[in-house]
A and B are shown apart, each in its own frame.
Chain A
Amino acid sequence: MQTRLKALCASLAALPLLASAALPAYSPVTDARLTKPEAANWLMYRGNYEGWGYSPLKQINSQNVGKLVPAWSYATGMTEGHQAPPMVNNGYMYVTTPNNQVIALEASTGKELWRYKKTIPDELMQLHPTNRGVALYGDKLYLATTDAFLVALDAATGKELWKVAVADWKKGYYMTLAPLAARGKIMVGSSGGELGIRGFVAAFDAQTGKEAWRTYTIAGPGEAGAETWPGETYKTGGGSVWITGTYDSETSLAFWGVGNAGPWMPDTRPGDNLYANSTIALDVDTGKIKGHHQYHWNDAWDWDEVSAPLLIDVEHKGKKVKSLVHAGRNGYLWLLERTRDKVNYVDAWPYVTQNVFTSLDPKTGRPTYDPKRVPGTGKTTNFCPSLWGGKDWPPEAYNPGTGLLYIPANNNLCSELTGEPVKYNAGNLFIGVSLDNILTNVRMTEKSRKHIGEVQAWDLKTGKKVWTHTYPEMNWGPLMTTAGNLVFGGGTNDRMFRALDAKSGKVLWETPTPSGVTGVPSSFEVNGEQYVAVQSGWGVDAQRMQGAFDAVLEHKTVVPQGGTIHVFKLQK
C-alpha cells in the first residue's frame, strides 16, 4: 500500500511535466502581439483590441462546416453562466468558469495542465456568478474575481503571483469581466450597479499589481460632469463596468462601456448623470477621460450600455470614418467617430422595436423621450425594448471580409416597471423597483409571441440590414465570425450551437450541447488544424430572462445547468 501510494503521488507530481512536454515553452504576450494578433491564436476577449470577435482562419468555411465534429470536450464541474471565450496562445488554452476558476488546457487535446481556484468568502453574494475570461500579458495571466480581487498567475504553471483588492465586496463591488492589458497595465472595472456602487475603471501595473490610476465612471465633485448629479447621489450612482474595453493602439485610448445610473428611477437623480450609459475614452497611461458619448441621459430603463464599442474604419456617406460602433441596449445602433481627444456623434438608428426615443439631435445624437415611456417613482410605465434591451452584454461581431456587423438581438420585447422609493443600505440591493415586478416585468406582444431572438447582419456602409435569422425565444449568444464566411453563436434555450453563412444568414451546421450556450466562441489553429471552441453553461441573465418568460408564458422551458468546454474540428 505504502509503495503504491508513493508511486501514485510521484506520478501525480510528474503529471504537469508530462502534459507540458508535448507543448512548446510558453510564448510571452507582448503589446506587439496584442496589436497584431496571429491568426492561429485567440489572445484576448474578442480576439483583437478592436473588439471584432473575428478569426482570419478559413480552413473551416461555409463549404465544409457541415463536417464539423467534436475534437474534445471537458466538464468544468461548475454550474451557472459560462461566458468566457477559450483563449489560446500557441497551444495553451485558458478558460474561466463561475466561482473564479481558471483552467489551463492543452488546446489540441483538452488535457488539463493546471487549475486555479480563488477562495471566495463564505458571506459573498453572487448576483452574477460568472466570469468572462482572463487577460494574457507577458508570461502572466490576470483574473478579475467576484470578490473584487485582481489576481496574477504564472501562465505556464498557474502559480498565484500576487493579488490585490480592487474594491470592497462587502459594499457590493464585484468583477466578472476579462481584464484589458496594454502598455504595461492591466485594466478592470467593477459591477454592482444594483447595489449602489460608484463605478470606475482602474489600472494596475502588470508586474507588481500596484494601482496606477482609477477613473470613476460617475462624475464626483471637482470632476467634469459633477453638475449632472444632484447632492450626494453620485456616491451610489452605479455606472458599472463589466465588459472588457476596446483599445486603439495608435492613440493609446481604451473605450469602455458604462452601465446604467442607479437606483433605477430617474427622479431620484435628476440630471444627465454622466458618464452612466455612455462610452468613455480613457488614456491608458493616465486614466484621463479624453472623450465620451452618452447614448441616453438620466436612464430609467436599466439599459446598461456596458458593451464596449467596436473600432471599425467605415465609409459613411462617402467619407472615411474611424468609427466606434455599438448596438445599444437602448435599441439603437450607434455610429460614432473617435479622434485623439474627442468622441463625435455620426449617426444612429433603431435596430429593434423602440418606443421611447421620439427623435435624436442631428448634431449630438441626444435623444428626446416620450414622457409616457419614462418610468418614475410611484408610476407604472410600459416601454420597449425590455429592460434587457435590444442587446444585452453578448458581443456583436464584425467581419472585414463581408463588411457586415452581426448583432445578437432580442426584438419585440417590452417591459412594465413600477418605481418605488428605496433607501441605500451598504451591500444590499438598491434598485427602486420591487423584485416581484422585475420577475414579471416582461410584456409579450403579438410579435414577440412569434419570435424574439435574432441574429442581424448590417452593412455599415449603407446602413441597411442585409439579413435576419430569427429564434422563437431569446438569444443570449455572443457571436464570432470568421474569414471562412461563417458566424458562430448559441444563445437559445434549445441548447444549440450553430454556424451561419455570414453572407446569407443560412444555418449551415448546428449541434445540441449539454446546457445552453452563452459563452463567447473563439477559433484557433494548432499544427495546421483549425478549431472552433465555446463553453456551454446556461445561467445568470439568460436564466433570469427564462424565469421572466416562464412567469408570463403558458409553457415553461427547462435549460439544464452545468458547464462544458467544447472544441470542434473538421472530420478527416
Chain B
Amino acid sequence: MNKTPHHPDHSHPVESPSSPERRDALRASSALLLCAGLGIGKAALAEGPSNSRPKAGDQLVRSDSEGNPVPLRSTEILPDTKPLPAFPLEPASGEVRSGSRLNKVILIRVAPGDLTEETRPYAAGGVLAYSAVCTHQGCEVSEWVAKDKTLMCYCHFSKFSPGRAGEVVAGPAPRTLPLLPLREENGVLVVAGPFTSNPGVAKST
C-alpha cells in the first residue's frame, strides 16, 4: 500500500467580512444593473401585503399555522430549544406575509446574560427575531446547537450567534443574519421596524 502522509492543518478559520453595508450597496447596484438590462422596473416586482417585507406594527404567526392565525406571545418562545419559524401578519388586513420566504423569521429566546449591548434593543420579552434565510446559499436556519448556543443552517453548517446580533461564528456564511426588531404589546410580539439588512443571499456576481 502506498501512503500519503497526513498534513495537519494549522491555519486559522476564515474571518467573516466586516462591512455588511458595503455588500448591500454592491448588491443594490448590481440589482439595478440587472433591472436596467432586463427592462424590469420596480412596478413589475410583486407587491401586496403577502409579498412585501415585514413592517412596524406587524404581528407574528407560526409558519405552519392553519386556519385563523393567532399572534404569537413572547411566553410561547421557550429557552434552549429549536427556534420557532414564523411569518409576519399585517393586523389590518389579516394577511400573513408568507408570499415570500424572505419574510420568514425564526424566534429564539436568549438569556439576558447572553445578549450583547448591541443586540438588546432588538429583543422583546427576551425574544429575538432573525431572518430564517441563511446568508450563505439561502437554506433555512433551523437548528439550535445547545453546546455553543448558536443557530445552525443545515446546508453547509453555518452557525450564527443569536446573542451577538446574528454574528457568523462558523461556516461559509459571509454576513450576519439580519434581525427583525421586536417590541411587546400586552405580551404579544410586534415588529418594531424593518430588517436590519436585506434578508437572503448576498450574491456574488
Contacts and interface: CB of A to CB of B under 8 A. Distances in A.
A422 B137 CA distance: 24
B197 interface: no
Nearest to B156: A543
Contact of A493 (B9, B134, B157): B9
A333 B142 CA distance: 38
Interface residues of B, number: 39
Interface stretch (A39-47, A334-342, A402-410, A557-565): A557-565
A470 B102 CA distance: 45
B4 A125 contact: no
**9 nearest A-B pairs in the assembled complex, by CB-CB distance:** A126-B137, A472-B6, A125-B138, A435-B154, A125-B139, A547-B157, A469-B2, A494-B7, A557-B9
Given A435-B142, A507-B4, 16 more contacts: A119-B34, A119-B38, A123-B102, A125-B133, A125-B137, A126-B137, A129-B137, A428-B140, A436-B143, A468-B2, A470-B2, A506-B2, A544-B156, A558-B12, A558-B13, A561-B172
A387 B140 CA distance: 22
B93 interface: no
A379 interface: no
Contacts of B134: 125
Interface in B148-163: 152, 154-157
A544 B14 contact: no
A124 B9 contact: no
Contacts of A547: 156-157
B201 interface: yes
B8 interface: yes
A99 B203 contact: yes
A467 B7 CA distance: 23
B153 to A, nearest CB: 9
B65 interface: no
Contacts of A216: none
Interface string B105-133: 00000000000000000000000000001
B4 A439 contact: no
A429 interface: yes
Name which of A122, A428, A556 has the most chain B CB atoms within 10 A of its CB. Answer: A122
Contacts of A123: 100-102, 133, 138, 200
A425 interface: yes
A507 B154 contact: no
Given A469-B2, A469-B4, A558-B12, A122 B102 contact: yes
B143 A435 contact: yes
A190 to B, nearest CB: 18
B68 interface: no
Nearest to A505: B2
A78 interface: yes
B172 A468 contact: no
A505 B34 CA distance: 50
B18 interface: no
Given A79-B172, A492-B4, A126 B138 contact: yes
Given A99-B204, A125-B139, A468 B1 contact: yes
A471 B4 contact: yes
B204 A77 contact: yes
Nearest to A551: B157
Contacts of A120: 203
B205 interface: yes
Interface string B8-43: 110111100000000000000000001000100000
Contacts of A119: 34, 38
22 contacts: A80-B137, A119-B38, A120-B203, A125-B137, A435-B152, A436-B145, A439-B157, A468-B1, A468-B2, A470-B3, A470-B4, A471-B4, A472-B4, A472-B6, A493-B9, A494-B9, A505-B2, A539-B156, A540-B156, A543-B172, A558-B12, A560-B11
A470 B11 CA distance: 24
A315 to B, nearest CB: 28
B185 interface: no
A438 interface: yes
A547 B145 CA distance: 14
A556 B13 CA distance: 10
Contacts of B201: 122
B130 to A, nearest CB: 16
Interface string A64-104: 00000000000001111000000000000000000100000
A124 B11 contact: no
Contact of B205 (A117, A129, A429, A496): A117
Given A425-B64, A472-B6, A438 B137 contact: no
A211 B203 CA distance: 31
Interface string A488-516: 00001110100000000111000000000
Nearest to A122: B200
A124 B8 contact: no
Given A122-B201, A544-B156, A507 B102 contact: no
A126 B139 contact: yes
A570 interface: no
Contacts of B101: 123, 427
A470 B12 CA distance: 27
A471 B3 CA distance: 6
A156 interface: no
A463 to B, nearest CB: 20
A555 interface: yes
Q: With a 10 A CB-CB cut-off, give which of B4, B143, B200 has the most chain A CB atoms.
A: B4
B139 A507 contact: no
Contacts of A544: 156-157
A299 to B, nearest CB: 20
Residue from B5, B64, B143, B204 with most neighbouring chain A CB atoms (10 Å):
B204
Most B-side CB within 10 Å, residue of A77, A127, A427:
A127
B9 A79 contact: no
Contacts of A467: 2
Contacts of B137: 80, 125-127, 129
Most buried by A among B9, B34, B205: B9
B148 to A, nearest CB: 12
Given A126-B138, A547-B157, A558 B100 contact: no
Contacts of B34: 119
Interface in A446-505: 451, 467-473, 492-494, 496, 505
Contacts of B133: 123, 125
Contacts of B100: 123
Nearest to B138: A125
Contacts of A473: 6
B11 A438 contact: no
A505 B1 CA distance: 9
Contacts of A129: 137
A470 B100 CA distance: 48
Contacts of A560: 11, 14
B155 A125 contact: yes
